[in-house]
Amino acid sequence: MGNIILTGDRPTGKLHLGHYIGSLQRRVQLQNEGNYDKMFVFMADVQALTDNADNPEKIRQNIIEVALDYLAAGLDPEKCTIFIQSQIPELSELTTYLMNLVTVSRIQRNPTVKTEIKMRNFEANIPLGFFCYPISQAADIALFKSTTVPVGEDQEPMIEVTREVVRRFNQTYGEVLVEPQILLPENTVCRRLPGTDGKEKMSKSLGNCIYLSDSADEVWQKVRSMFTDPDHLRVDDPGKVEGNAVFTYLDAFSTDNDFANYWPDYKNLDELKDHYRRGGLGDMKCKKFLNTIINNMLEPMRQRRKEFEQDIPEIYNILKKGTDKARETAAQTMDEVRKAMRIDYFNDTELIKQQSERFKNQK
Ligand code: TRP
């Protein structure tokens, strides 16, 4: 069994720095290292609809935004199969069968589902489709026999459910599906990037995002007003770097090279942090440095995005081709699943023969 990488994003908005550092950057690296047999990246529109059922137009309009972000970030349709979740009916089929192998209480205990129910005020009335989305996600992963799922830390409980369901399936029906491994970012600050307001998570609904497609000016406006240390009032005051979003971002994005190139007064981030802690270092200088780093990283993406935006029909071609290719793998796995589950009636000549005999002998 080879190395099969799979991951996806809900198309509810443009992708932001949290997506990039949590997973997208890693996917591009994995893709370019080429150390895999198959790689799939998809837009999880079925999952997005589980809490946007009344707003399908939002999902429809954001498919293209996410596709453009993928291509701009460096995903290459020659090397990785990019597809749209809803166009793979085999996913719904597998979801239906996997639901038989999980209990309601197991999903109720899932920490990610719990947080989302609170966030969306679903407590009194949870849509059933939303409640079942972890199983749908398990089907996404299992259908492609994925071995490696590069995602942020918040997805850990989903991968855990997937592993359990796959184990149950294989015990019940025979070894068909594969237990996946989660691949978290090595740098722990990249696992959950805080928002520009310092809140726990960068998220569209909190309005604290820097988008990959923001202009240089938009990035500066956002970086300039970033949350720092509220007690660092005067430049000479000692400052705190813990919980200071500017320093968390520097942890995530800066390299020693950036210091050599743009701020040679310091050898590395540790030296900068020491100075900030001692006092005598202003927030604005740190923000300017961070702005340079982020904009250097985003500039090539902005340019590539501009180019791809010139030919939207071609982007849909790429998605169509990727979807057709993904369906081939999906169909193969479903053949195996149906056979293992004994629901391959029309392909099972042995079944028909045996039953013919049985009914004949009854006479
Ligand atoms: N739940 C993921 C998110 O919110 C999206 C997703 C759906 C996914 N299916 C997946 C990620 C399968 C990895 C593998 O971002």
Q: Report how far ligand 1's centroid is from the alpha carbon of 282 (Å).
A: 40
**pLDDT (mean) for 9-29:** 95
Residue 8 has pLDDT above 80, yes or no: yes
47 Cβ below 6 A of ligand 1: yes
Query: Ligand 1: which of 140, 165, 192 to mutate, most ligand atoms within 8 Å of CB?
Result: 140
- Per-residue pLDDT band for 186 (boundaries 50, 70, 90) equals confident
Q: Report how far ligand 1's centroid is from the alpha carbon of 44 (Å).
A: 7
Please report the pLDDT score of residue 89 as a whole number: 98
Question: Percent of the chain beyond pLDDT 90?
Answer: 91
Mean pLDDT for all residues in the chain: 95
- What is the tens place of the pLDDT at every residue in 56-99? 999 999 999 999 999 999 999 999 999 999 999 999 999 999 99
Q: How far is CA 50 from CA 12, 69, 140, 177, in A?
A: 11, 23, 15, 25
Please report the pLDDT score of residue 110 as a whole number: 94
Q: Report how far ligand 1's centroid is from the alpha carbon of 306 (Å).
A: 27
Residue 308 has pLDDT above 80, yes or no: yes
Measured from the Cβ of residue 119, the count of other Cβ atoms closer than 10 Å reads 12
137 Cβ below 6 A of ligand 1: yes
Q: Report how far ligand 1's centroid is from the alpha carbon of 159 (Å).
A: 9
As a three-state string, the secondary structure of the chain is: CCCEEEEEECCCCCCEHHHHHHHHHHHHHHHHHCCCCEEEEEECHHHHHCCCCCCHHHHHHHHHHHHHHHHHHCCCCCCCEEEEHHHCHHHHHHHHHHHHHCCHHHHHCCHHHHHHHHHCCCCCCCCHHHHCHHHHHHHHHHHCCCCEEECCHHHHHHHHHHHHHHHHHHHHHCCCCCCCEEECCCCHHHCCCCCCCCCCCCCHHHCCCCECCCCHHHHHHHHHCCCCCCCCCCCCCCCCCCCCHHHHHHHHHCCHHHHHHHCCCCCCHHHHHHHHHHCCCCHHHHHHHHHHHHHHHHHHHHHHHHHHHCCHHHHHHHHHHHHHHHHHHHHHHHHHHHHHCCCCHHHCHHHHHHHHHHHHHCC
21 Cβ below 6 A of ligand 1: no
Residue 37 has pLDDT above 80, yes or no: yes
Residue 240 has pLDDT above 90, yes or no: yes
Paired tokens of 209: 């995002």
**pLDDT (mean) for 146-172:** 96
Residue 11 has pLDDT above 80, yes or no: yes
Atom 13 (ligand 1) nearest CA = 7
Give pTM, 2 decimals.
Answer: 0.94
**pLDDT (mean) for 333-338:** 98
**pLDDT (mean) for 187-201:** 88
Please report the pLDDT score of residue 188 as a whole number: 83
What span, in angstroms and rounded, lies between the C-alpha atoms of 325 and 339? Answer: 22
50 Cβ below 6 A of ligand 1: no
Higher pLDDT, 40 or 152: 40
46 Cβ below 6 A of ligand 1: no
- Per-residue pLDDT band for 352 (boundaries 50, 70, 90) equals very high
**pLDDT (mean) for 300-314:** 98
Report the atom number in ligand 1 closest to the C-alpha of 137. 9
- Per-residue pLDDT band for 119 (boundaries 50, 70, 90) equals confident
Residue 1 has pLDDT above 70, yes or no: no
